[in-house]
Structure 1
Amino acid sequence: MNTALLSRLTESDSLAVGVLGAGNIGTVHLKSALVMPGVDVRAVADARSENRARAKRAGVSRTYDDYATLLESEDLDAAVVALPPFLHADAVEQAAAAGIDVFVEKPLARSSAEADRMLEAATDAGIAVGVDHTLRYQPDVVGVKEAYEDGRVGHVPYASITRLNDGALGRPPATDSPPEWPLDADAAGGGSLLELGIHCFDVLEWLFGDLEVESAAIGETLELPVEDAATVLLRAPETETTITLHCGSYQWEQLPEVNTRLRLEGVTGTIANEEYLPENFYASAAKSAIGNVAGRVTGDDPDVFGPTFYLRAHYDALAAFFDAIRNDERPPVDGRDGKRTLELAEAAYECAKPTGSNDLEATEVTL
């Protein structure tokens, strides 16, 4: 633990936290931190005035329009980086210069090379880096892992995971223009493979150990500048498991439906994540979703923990990070894990590249 953090923690039992970015996911992290015991949210930074106003309504006393100014002005133990991916590296490097531990929204970076730069800065500064890979914290996914490790289905020769969601365009009819950065490959690093596939890579290595990418295909079901669909064939040498992964941002989410499917096909049976959904999940989630719709009419902010348990998983991931830095331990999902998912995504992108040759035309057929 860095000396600055140690001295601050001896003065107070609460972690002093800043939130960088108060958009959709930033608000989830903000509201999580605000209700977390032992956490004092000092300030929020966001370039958009409406997001700063939302942070103040949530109970934050100080807001900044620039995250660099927040990091310079506030005496913090940790910062939550919920900015667009193209700002992650700069934010982490500036936090490292100030000796502030960071919890970074996924993807950690736009590339493994950029992640290397960030992790080098973190190591030099002695700060911890956590990454928000939340599927590990969903109760249905945890249930699958526990059943698998208990040997319920024995050896698993084959597994599959699918994660679908709506992309930057949102559910039609679209009433607002989408943010520019998710549809910009340079700003986001990629499309659905980085937005959704990253989560899947992380969970699969959590289950089966190191993965190898054998083949991949990416495409566009909509006319967008980034891919909105990707299918990857993987192999886990340690467990001798073949895995298919599909992710896509072409299917509009219908709350409270679950848009992640995880199945393990074992020699004595199948484990599926649907078996481990919380009791009364659909009824309680539907009630919360209706309440949020009504809140739009009255002008109330939505209950970020309401529509599905996915958002509770963000709370648990952030709480686990805070617990780790309090105890001077490696975060459960750290920067190396975040970099590893980027390496797998890059391998998939490489496999999906056109070969430039036509095998049918190159084959000589004789009769």
Structure 2
Amino acid sequence: MQLPILDRWTDSSGLSLGVLGVGNIGMVHLKSALAMPNVEVVAAADAVPENRNRADRAGVSRTYDDYAALLESEDLDAAVVALPPFLHAEAVERAAEECIDVFVEKPLARSTEEADDLLETAREAGIAVGVDHTLRYQPDMTGLKEAYDEGSVGHVPYASITRLNDGPLGRPPVENAPPSWPLDPDAAGGGSLLELGVHCFDVLEWLFGDLEVLDASMGRTLEIDVEDAATVLLEARETGTTITLHCGSYQWEQLPEVNTRLRLEGVTGTLSNRDHLPDNFYAGAAKSALSNVASRFTNDEPDVFGPTFYLQAHYDALADFCEAIRAGNRPPVDGTDGRRTLALAETAYERAAVDADGADELEAPEVTL
């Protein structure tokens, strides 16, 4: 358990921030921070020259090809860790040496063991650890939670959540080879369950409290080394709710279509996240899409906040983290939350492995005509 954060803020000056990793999601965090009042993005780091060039064009003063060099060279209050999962623990350790608070992309780590070491390092250094679990910041999810908390459907015996996208391979035709680490179980820690399922675990516990994994199965629709589909049966003991969770990276995304579906089947009715989409969701997304297409012809940078529905949630999550550490408070989504989602994922992997071993031992039934 993390200790209360040391209050290192003595004035109202801006928060100095560095961004470690400016690939796809790192650029979202970078542009989010650049748009925030009282936050100064002083530097960004990435091993890929093209990514550093994008950061330069976005307005970052200095870029580094090594995140450790950035942490040692810059006077930072906080750092965004948007590196591949196998670098999260090392990056937090380096940040802790410089007494820099960290906002870490999910999954927090590749395992609970690695997460425990990471959090112990942070605790000893007195730094804060936030985690980018953003589903709870989307307006459809906040609207659903508000309706549920108000008791609009009464007791909820059953709930379901599905989250699908096209994963690291992308939608064909693919112009560039995908990065190798998302398809490497050692580098990523797992497949769809760690990439997408941890978001679902987080929002479900935000709604219902502690979850217990009852059963799980993993699948591969493609010949890759990590699962691209996972189904988990859960129970929320506090509310007596049975929940099914399915996530996968096998479906081509059709943006701006919402790729997460959450339904609560209450005794007096049903709540769905789709009932709480902003009124202008599709119109706003279409406008952003047209703007991004036009930017290809004008050589301008695409608008990372379009469709704003998804990416505004990342802005809000990072802004909440910055506000918390500025006030000397624990981040609203902290390392213990990130560790909890990893524990649920590990239990799901274990349940799926047991079921798979048992299935291998079963004899095929004899069929006679």
- TM-score band, normalised by shorter chain: over 0.9
Taking a change above 3 Å as real, the CA distance of residues 183 and 238 of structure 1, as seen in their structure-2 partners, is same
Taking a change above 3 Å as real, the CA distance of residues 51 and 357 of structure 1, as seen in their structure-2 partners, is closer
Aligned to 2:126: 126
Aligned to 2:255: 255
The answer to whether the 8 A contact 1:2-1:99 is kept is no
2 CA distance for matches of 1:235 and 1:255? 32
Aligned to 1:304: 304
Aligned to 1:81: 81
The answer to whether the 8 A contact 2:5-2:330 is kept is no
2 CA distance for matches of 1:169 and 1:58? 26
Aligned to 2:135: 135
Aligned to 2:182: 182
Taking a change above 3 Å as real, the CA distance of residues 281 and 189 of structure 1, as seen in their structure-2 partners, is same
- Paired residue secondary structure (2:19): strand
Taking a change above 3 Å as real, the CA distance of residues 11 and 272 of structure 1, as seen in their structure-2 partners, is closer
Taking a change above 3 Å as real, the CA distance of residues 21 and 146 of structure 1, as seen in their structure-2 partners, is same
Q: CA RMSD in A?
A: 1.7
2 CA distance for matches of 1:290 and 1:251? 23
2 CA distance for matches of 1:307 and 1:301? 15
- Paired residue secondary structure (1:256): coil
- Paired residue secondary structure (2:119): helix
- The 5-angstrom pairing of residues 261-340 of structure 1 reads 261-340=261-340
2 CA distance for matches of 1:41 and 1:360? 58
- The 5-angstrom pairing of residues 1-367 of structure 1 reads 6=8, 9-10=9-10, 13-353=13-353, 354-356=356-358, 360-361=362-363
- Paired residue secondary structure (1:309): helix
How many percent of aligned residue pairs carry the same amino acid?
75
1 CA distance for matches of 2:5 and 2:211? 34
- Paired residue secondary structure (1:235): strand
The answer to whether the 8 A contact 1:215-1:352 is kept is yes
> What's the offset of the Cα at 1:28?
0.3
Q: Deviations over 1:285-321 (max 9, x none)?
A: 0121122122223322210111241100000000000
Q: What runs of 5+ residues in structure 2 fail to find an aligned partner?
A: none
- Paired residue secondary structure (1:253): coil
- Paired residue secondary structure (1:43): strand
> What's the offset of the Cα at 1:274?
0.4
Q: For residue 327 of structure 1, what is the amino acid of its counterpart?
A: A
The answer to whether the 8 A contact 2:5-2:128 is kept is no
Q: For residue 37 of structure 1, what is the amino acid of its counterpart?
A: P
Q: For residue 324 of structure 1, what is the amino acid of its counterpart?
A: A
Q: What runs of 5+ residues in structure 1 fail to find an aligned partner?
A: none
Q: Deviations over 1:112-166 (max 9, x none)?
A: 1000000000000000000000001000000111100000000000000000111
Q: For residue 273 of structure 1, what is the amino acid of its counterpart?
A: N
The answer to whether the 8 A contact 1:256-1:308 is kept is no
The answer to whether the 8 A contact 1:101-1:129 is kept is yes
Taking a change above 3 Å as real, the CA distance of residues 254 and 363 of structure 1, as seen in their structure-2 partners, is closer
Taking a change above 3 Å as real, the CA distance of residues 356 and 265 of structure 1, as seen in their structure-2 partners, is closer
2 CA distance for matches of 1:196 and 1:362? 34
The answer to whether the 8 A contact 2:46-2:66 is kept is yes
> What's the offset of the Cα at 1:362?
9.8
Taking a change above 3 Å as real, the CA distance of residues 139 and 269 of structure 1, as seen in their structure-2 partners, is same
Deviates more, 1:251-260 or 1:348-357: 348-357
Q: Deviations over 1:304-356 (max 9, x none)?
A: 11124110000000000011101111100000000000000000000111224
Q: Deviations over 1:74-95 (max 9, x none)?
A: 0000000000000000000110
1 CA distance for matches of 2:358 and 2:313? 43
1 CA distance for matches of 2:252 and 2:289? 15
